[in-house]
Structure 1
Amino acid sequence: MAGTVEIHGLTKRFGDRTVLENLDLSIEPGEFVALLGRSGSGKSTLLRVLAGLDSEIDGEAVVRGTVSVAFQQPRLLPWRKVWRNVVLGLGKQSDDRRLALRALEEVRLVDHADDWPRTLSGGEAQRLSLARALVREPDLLLLDEPFGALDALTRIAMQRLVEDLWQRHRPSVLLVTHDVDEALLLADRVLVLDEGRIVSVHALGHPRPRRLADHMDVRTKVLADLGVTEDALA
């Protein structure tokens, strides 16, 4: 079966600076992949390429099917009601509201359908962003540090929600994150990017729901790949 994402020899430069260098990556249909890396390693650049926001590349980056993106900032339109933000970009359809309500039901926001975005909490706004991404029924869901601005408890709730939605819809997912534990709890594979290259791949085979205690050996390896040693954590 062909992958949802097939990348071969991807190189991206900004002037004299090479951000992605001869990168190869495949993401299978329904696979959940987490991408970790230090700031400036090329994570967001790769996501932008896959989202179709940057086509000036060398090499090949093929995405099969539809793509949706949820960013760290929800990027809501404050002058549109919650339900209208969900269907933003779909084009005029007679069943827009029905589609929006169905998506809002999945993220537990249907009671806020006719509210204004400014009345939502940070977690609610991010759930709205997820509803907007999922209403397109994407083959590839790109998550660009979507929980980075949330408090710890809200972040845990959002992680559980994303896993639940992924299991129901089964899109391929690429999650860009700085949170090692988040990656271990959610992903089938954890990739570490450094200086534009994938330097390690860690497959996670434990059944869901996951416990971090099951992955402490992988956690240590991923942290080492990121340049964090046990001495640094002591």
Structure 2
Amino acid sequence: MARELIAKVHGLTKRFGDRAVLSCLDIEIARGEFVALLGRSGSGKSTLLRILAGLDSAVEGEVRVEGKVSVAFQQPRLLPWRRVWRNVVLGLRERGRDRALAERALGEVQLAAHADAWPRTLSGGEAQRVSLARALVREPDLLLLDEPFGALDALTRLAMHRLVEDLWTEHRPGVLLVTHDVDEALLLADRVLVLGEGRIVAEHVLGHARPRTLSDHIDVRTSVLADLGVTEYATA
């Protein structure tokens, strides 16, 4: 049976002045698939995510996304003058159901008791969970995650990994996770793509059952680090 694609990019080129950040890039994401995108700083990872989110249309090539798209960024971007539940449904056109939808989404990220809190009272991990609730309340077909755990401490990041995996299992959107963290990609994704020189230079399919441990993917980890140009400590 053919995969149902939720996103397809073919021959994508994105230029900033004379510099091509993305060059003839091809990528496909199937419905329900979890894809992680790795690459060095400045390789164009966040640029690709913005294009898929419809935030940048000045491109060459084919970009096709089916259905609704939601984005969770590295910074939660909560409005400090709106209570948590109102941040969750910000921009959502569900008159009369806003509160109920927000509470349901907050319950899924274990923050139902914080619905009436002000954003300034939240920890970094709690604020990021609110950002996830805001993305999920829209019931996206494609969920874009732009380094959403990068600013969190190690223990909170591990808890967020499990939460995101549980939410993905429950809702089954297609996911594109942009990250610098190789271990994070190996724990969460079905496929790991490596971006370099403006295009996908390597692809690794991960077949281990979930939940995973890093010991499941030692060989793949070494290969991914090598793809990124890291070889001296690849087996550490």
Shorter-chain TM range is over 0.9
The residue aligned with 1:6 is 8
Aligned residues: 234
TM-score by length of 2: 0.97
The residue aligned with 1:105 is 107
How far is 1:145 from its partner?
0.1
In structure 1, give the amino acid aligned to 2:168.
W
Q: Distance in 1 between matches of 2:234 and 2:60?
A: 38
Conserved in 2, the CA contact under 8 Å of 1:40 and 1:195? no
Q: Distance in 1 between matches of 2:91 and 2:219?
A: 43
In structure 1, give the amino acid aligned to 2:114.
H
Gap regions ≥5 residues in structure 2: none
Q: Distance in 2 between matches of 1:214 and 1:5?
A: 29
The residue aligned with 1:220 is 222
Gap regions ≥5 residues in structure 1: none
The residue aligned with 1:161 is 163
- Comparing 83-92 with 137-146, greater Cα deviation is found at 83-92
Secondary structure of the residue aligned to 1:230 is coil
> What does residue range 81-160 of structure 1 map to in structure 2 within 5 Å?
81-91=83-93, 93-160=95-162
Secondary structure of the residue aligned to 1:4 is strand
How far is 1:23 from its partner?
0.6
The residue aligned with 2:232 is 230
Secondary structure of the residue aligned to 2:203 is strand
Which stretches of structure 1, 4 residues or more, deviate above 4 A after TM superposition?
231-234
CA offsets, 1:57-81, max 9 Å, x none?
A: 0000100000000000000000000
TM-score by length of 1: 0.98
How far is 1:230 from its partner?
3.1
Q: Distance in 2 between matches of 1:230 and 1:67?
A: 39
Conserved in 2, the CA contact under 8 Å of 1:82 and 1:117? yes
Q: Please point out which of 52, 55, 72 is paired with 1:53.
A: 55
Conserved in 1, the CA contact under 8 Å of 2:89 and 2:134? yes
How far is 1:89 from its partner?
1.0
What is the aligned-residue RMSD (CA, Å)? 1.1
Q: Identity of counterpart residues, as a percentage?
A: 78
Conserved in 2, the CA contact under 8 Å of 1:188 and 1:204? yes
